[in-house]
Amino acid sequence: MSNQLAHATSPYLLAHKDNPVDWRVWDETALEEARTQGKPILLSIGYTACHWCHVMNAESFSDSATAALINADFIPILVDREQRPDLDQLYQASANMLGHGGGWPLNVFLTPQAEPFFATSYLPKEERFGSPSFTRVLTDLARSWREQQQDVLANATRVRDGLTELWASDRRGPINNSVLDAASVRIGQAFDIFYGGITGPQKFPSPHLLDVMWNAFLRTGLDQFSQIVLTSLHNLCMGAVWDHVGGGFARYATDERWTVPNFEKTLYDQALLIEQLIRVAQFNQWPLFIDRIHETVQFLLRDMRLGDGFAACIDSDSDGEEGKFYVWSEAEIDATLKGTFSQRFKEVYNVTREGSLNGKNVLHRLGPIAGYPLAGADETLFARQRSLLLEARYKRPAPQRDEQILTDWNGLAIAALARAGVTLKKPEWLAIAQSTFEFIRSTLGDGDRLSHSWCANSRSKEGFSDDYAQMIRAALALFDATQDARYIEHAKAWVRVLDARYWDPIHGGYCITANDDPALFVRPRTIFDQVTPSANGVMIGELTKLFLVTADTAYRDRLNAILTAFAGELGRAPLSMPTYLSSFETALLSLQIVIVGPSANAKTRALVDAVRSRTLPAHVLLVISPAHKLPQGHIAHGKTMQDGEPTAYICQNTMCSAPITDPGQLAQQLILPAQLAMAMKARAEAAKDGQKPN
C-alpha cells in the first residue's frame, strides 16, 4: 500500500511512502481531519541523514502491527525538519517543556488542536534496556486520550502557555555594554579546557560559541579565550569528527575526546567551520587550519555541489549500517596501502587490529604522534595514501545524499566561500559563491520573496526569516569581496520583506514565519541559536553593516530595536544566544575601513590586501572611486584621496583616522594589541615546530 507521501519532494518523506502507516503531510486538511474525528495527532519529525530515524522506520513504521495501532487511534503526520524548521523549532521546544531533551526522530503527540501533550524520540519496537516499547507508548497514550482526556488537555494547555511565555512575551531589557565580558566568561566556563568543546559526553563543533570566544580574545588579549578556541579547533581538525580520507566535518562526536563521530555531514557545519577557521588562520597562519579550509572546500565541491547549489547533507548510514562507508579494518588498510609503508600511516592515524568502533577503525590523529605537519616527507606520503583510501572507499555503497537545496544553508555556504576566496586568494571559490547566490536568487526567488527549499525541480513554500537573514548575510559577504553595489541592493530588498512580513510590532524582533502563513498555535520568535544562527542574532550584525555602508538611520533603529527586544534574556541564557553576542559587538564597535581610489589601481589593491591580512572583529570594508560621493550622514563623507594617491581611513563610531596612503602603515594601524602580537609570534614559532597548541 502507499500513503499520502507518494507525491512529496522531500527524500525523507519519500523514504516512508510505502509504510503501512497512513501518513499525512502537515497541512490544513490533515489538521481538520484530526479536529473532525476528535483524534490525537502523532507528529513524527526527522530528516534524511538521521540514523535513528532510519532505525525507527525499519522497526516500527514499516511494521504492519504497529501501523495498525497508529492508524486506529491517531492521525499520523510526518514532517521533514529541513523543509519545515518552523515546526521543528516549535515542537522541539514543546518536547523540552514536557521534560524530554528533543532530538530526532522527534515523536510528539498532539491534541486535535495541534497542542503537544507527550514527546519522545526513538523508541524500540520491543521493550529493552529500560526503554518502553513504542507500541506500549501508543497503547498507553490512546487509553489516556479515551479515559483521561481532561488531564491530557490540561497538560497540553500547560505546554501551550509555557511556549507563549517563551516566544510571545516581553523579553525586552536595557542594553548594557559590559555584558559582553560577563557573558564571555560564563560561556568560557562551559568549555572543556582539556579537549575543547562544551563539557559533556558528546562534543559538537559549536562554531557560534567559538566565535564569541575568539571575539573575547581579540577584545581582551586574554590567552584563556584563545586557548579554548585553539584547543577546540585543533581537536576538531585532528580528531575523528574530521573525515581524514574524504574531507568534511561530521555533525558531532559521541565521546568527549573527539574519537568516535556521528557520521552525518551537513552543509551548515562545513560553512560555519570554514568561516571560523578563516578567522583564526588569519591570526596565526597555522598550516593545519589553512589545509582544513582547502580540504573542506574541496569536499563541498566534490560531494555536495548540486548544479549551482549545494545539497543539504549526507547520510550517516549505508547498507543500513551507521558509518559503514567511513570505517576501516586493519586488514583493509594494509591491502589498500600495500607497498606504501602502511605501518607509519597506521601509527599516525591510530589504526589497530582491534579497532576503535565495533572492530573497525575511525581514522584520527590525536595521540602520541599529534604534530602537524610532521617533519620530512610524511605529509606528502600521507596525502597519497589518503587518495588511495578514498579511491577504495568510492567502491563501497555510498550513503544517501539529501538533494534538497535549502536557502538558508546555501546562504551560509555562499558567505563562507566568498570570505575564504578573498582571504586565501582563491578567485575560483569566489566565483562559485557568486554563481550559487545567483541560483538561489533566481530559482528560489520570486521578485523579492524567497522560498525555503528546492528539490526535484520544485520550489517549496515561502521562506522563513532565517532564509532572508542568511541571504542578506551572503549578499553583504559578496559585497565585501567584490565591492559590487548590486549586492547591497539585494540585501536592502530582503530587509524590506523581513520588516513588512516577519516583524513583531508588539514585542520587536523577527518571527520565524511570515504574517500571512497559516497560524500555528503560537508564532515562534526567538533569539536562541539552533544548529544554525538565529535570524534575529544575524540581523543585528547585518543591519549594522547596512547602516555603516548607507548611513540610513532606519537600519540603526531596527538593529537597536532587536537588541532591546531580547536584552532581557542575556542574564538567563547567554550560552543559547552567541550570535546575538557576536552581532552586539559588531554594532558596538561599528568598525569600517574606507579606501578611496580607483579599483583597478595597484595601490588601491595593496591597501585592500593590507586590510585582509589582519585579524579584525566584524567590520565593513568600503572601496569607493574618487568620484563617488558618500551620503551626507556617512562617517567618511567628504573623505578623498591625498596627493592623488589611493587613501584609507579607519572609521569607528563617529571618528575617522587621519588619511593613510601607505599599505604598510595601514597594516600597522590595524595591528592587534601588543600582547596579541606577542602571542601570535609565540604560536607561529610553535606551529613551525609542529607543536600542539597550548
Read off the pLDDT of residues 378-426 as tens digits, 9 standing for 90 and up. 999 999 999 999 999 999 999 999 999 999 999 999 999 999 999 999 9
> What average pLDDT does range 643-657 have in this prediction?
93
Residue 317 near residue 331 (C-beta atoms within 8 A)? no
- The crossing angle, in degrees rounded to 10, of helices 179-189 and 207-220 is 130
Q: Among 41-45, 273-277, 654-658, whose mean pLDDT is lowest?
A: 654-658
Residues of the chain with CATH 3.40.30.10: 11-167
**pLDDT grade for 679, boundaries at 50, 70 and 90:** low
Alpha-helical runs (H) found in 194-348: 207-220, 223-238, 267-284, 287-299, 330-336, 342-348
Q: What is d(CA 78, CA 101) in angstroms, rounded to the nearest whole number?
A: 20
pLDDT confidence of residue 2: 63
> What average pLDDT does range 517-543 have in this prediction?
93
The label of the residue with cell 530588498 reads: 493
Of 649, 632, 642, residue with least CA distance to 591: 649
Instruction: Using the predicted structure, report yes or no on whether residue 473 has a pLDDT greater than 70.
Output: yes
pLDDT confidence of residue 678: 54
Instruction: Using the predicted structure, report yes or no on whether residue 674 has a pLDDT greater than 80.
Output: no
Alpha-helical runs (H) found in 551-673: 553-566, 578-589, 602-612, 663-669
In terms of pLDDT, which residue wins out, 457 or 153?
153
> What average pLDDT does range 446-450 have in this prediction?
95
In terms of pLDDT, which residue wins out, 244 or 523?
244
Q: What is d(CA 260, CA 357) in angstroms, rounded to the nearest whole number?
A: 7
Sign of CA dihedral 123, 126, 130, 134: positive
Residues of the chain with CATH 1.50.10.20: 198-242+260-317+402-589
Start-to-end C-alpha separation, the chain = 60
pLDDT confidence of residue 375: 83
Of 583, 533, 593, 531, residue with least CA distance to 558: 583
Task: For residue 421, give the amino acid letter.
Answer: G
- The crossing angle, in degrees rounded to 10, of helices 535-550 and 485-501 is 130
The label of the residue with cell 559538537 reads: 204
Q: What is the pLDDT of residues 478-508, one digit of tens each?
A: 999 999 999 999 999 999 999 999 999 999 9
Instruction: Using the predicted structure, report yes or no on whether residue 190 has a pLDDT greater than 60.
Output: yes
Output the average pLDDT for the chain.
93
pLDDT confidence of residue 169: 80
> What average pLDDT does range 427-453 have in this prediction?
97
Q: How far is CA 240 from CA 109, 403, 485, in A?
A: 37, 25, 42
**pLDDT grade for 521, boundaries at 50, 70 and 90:** confident
pLDDT confidence of residue 692: 46
Residue 72 near residue 137 (C-beta atoms within 8 A)? no
Task: For residue 670, give the amino acid letter.
Answer: L
Of 304, 342, 313, 307, residue with least CA distance to 436: 307
Statement: 198-242+260-317+402-589 belongs to CATH 1.50.10.20: yes
**Cβ neighbours of 36 (radius 10 Å):** 10
pLDDT confidence of residue 676: 58
| Maximum alpha-carbon separation in the chain | 87
Q: What is d(CA 341, CA 86) in angstroms, rounded to the nearest whole number?
A: 52
> What average pLDDT does range 137-148 have in this prediction?
96
Backbone angles phi, psi at 457, to 5 degrees: 60, 30
Residue 87 near residue 26 (C-beta atoms within 8 A)? yes
Task: For residue 229, give the amino acid letter.
Answer: V
The label of the residue with cell 539552533 reads: 530
Residue 17 near residue 6 (C-beta atoms within 8 A)? yes
Of 456, 402, 408, 517, residue with least CA distance to 8: 456
Options 3.40.50.150, 3.40.640.10, 3.40.1160.10, 3.40.30.10; CATH of 11-167: 3.40.30.10
Backbone angles phi, psi at 614, to 5 degrees: -110, 145
Residues 6+ apart with CB under 8 A from 399: 49, 263, 314, 315, 316, 317, 318, 325
Q: How far is CA 684 from CA 234, 238, 437, 677, 690, in A?
A: 14, 18, 36, 10, 10
pLDDT confidence of residue 130: 75
**pLDDT grade for 170, boundaries at 50, 70 and 90:** confident
Q: What is d(CA 286, CA 230) in angstroms, rounded to the nearest whole number?
A: 10
The DSSP line for 500-534 is: HHTB-TTT-SB-SS-TTSPPPSS--------SS--
pLDDT confidence of residue 437: 98
pLDDT confidence of residue 693: 43
Total number of residues shown for the chain: 694
Q: Three-state SS string across 280-317, please?
A: HHHHHCCHHHHHHHHHHHHHHHHHHEECCEECCEECCE
Q: How far is CA 473 from CA 126, 412, 467, 576, in A?
A: 47, 8, 10, 21
pLDDT confidence of residue 1: 52
> What average pLDDT does range 68-94 have in this prediction?
95
Q: What is d(CA 583, CA 576) in angstroms, rounded to the nearest whole number?
A: 14
> What average pLDDT does range 509-533 have in this prediction?
91
Residue 80 near residue 44 (C-beta atoms within 8 A)? no
Instruction: Using the predicted structure, report yes or no on whether residue 285 has a pLDDT greater than 90.
Output: no
Instruction: Using the predicted structure, report yes or no on whether residue 325 has a pLDDT greater than 90.
Output: yes
Statement: 591-688 belongs to CATH 3.40.30: yes
Instruction: Using the predicted structure, report yes or no on whether residue 274 has a pLDDT greater than 60.
Output: yes
**pLDDT grade for 44, boundaries at 50, 70 and 90:** very high
Instruction: Using the predicted structure, report yes or no on whether residue 687 has a pLDDT greater than 60.
Output: no
Q: What is the pLDDT of residues 171-187, one digit of tens each?
A: 888 888 888 999 999 99
Residue 521 near residue 31 (C-beta atoms within 8 A)? no
pLDDT confidence of residue 694: 40
